[in-house]
Amino acid sequence: MSFLVSDALAEAPAVAQQGDPLLGLLFPIGLVVLLYFLMIRPQIKRQKEHKKMVDALAKGDEVVTMGGIAGRIVDLGESFAEVEVADGVQLKVRRQAVESVLPKGSLKEL
């Protein structure tokens, strides 16, 4: 039955060439650099801008929270702000929960 199966001939093992070890690290290092510039650096920039905006909050600013609540700041504390969302309705929110400051006059109903 040897005519159905071809005989395997032994060959000399291929010699693995030794490359430059730094060349092998080039790809992972390139991925880390790409990750930094595309993901980490822009996130740090957004965090700095948000902190600057939260530190600059003042009474009378019209804001939108991360939950989508829009209102006018009536009182500011160290960590919290009271936001008036309707006549006589005030909510206490964390200052960090303020997502953006609206231009003056955006909320005409209050």
pLDDT of residue 20: 77
**Do 75 and 109 belong together in one domain?**
yes
**Do 69 and 107 belong together in one domain?**
yes
**Do 86 and 65 belong together in one domain?**
yes
**Total number of domains constituting the chain:** 2
Using CA atoms, how far apart are residues 49 and 45, in angstroms rounded to an integer?
6
**Do 65 and 107 belong together in one domain?**
yes
Q: Tell which of 12, 32, 56 closes a domain.
A: 56
Mean pLDDT by runs of 10 across the 110 residues of the chain is 61 66 87 96 97 95 95 95 94 96 82
**Do 81 and 97 belong together in one domain?**
yes
Domain that holds residue 84: 58-110
pLDDT of residue 68: 95
Residue 85 falls inside a structural domain = yes
Closest to 82 (Cα-Cα) out of 103, 61, 104, 102: 61
Residue 7 falls inside a structural domain = no
Q: What's the predicted TM-score (pTM) here? A: 0.71
**Do 63 and 104 belong together in one domain?**
yes
CA angle 87, 66, 59 (to 5 degrees): 45
**Do 36 and 67 belong together in one domain?**
no
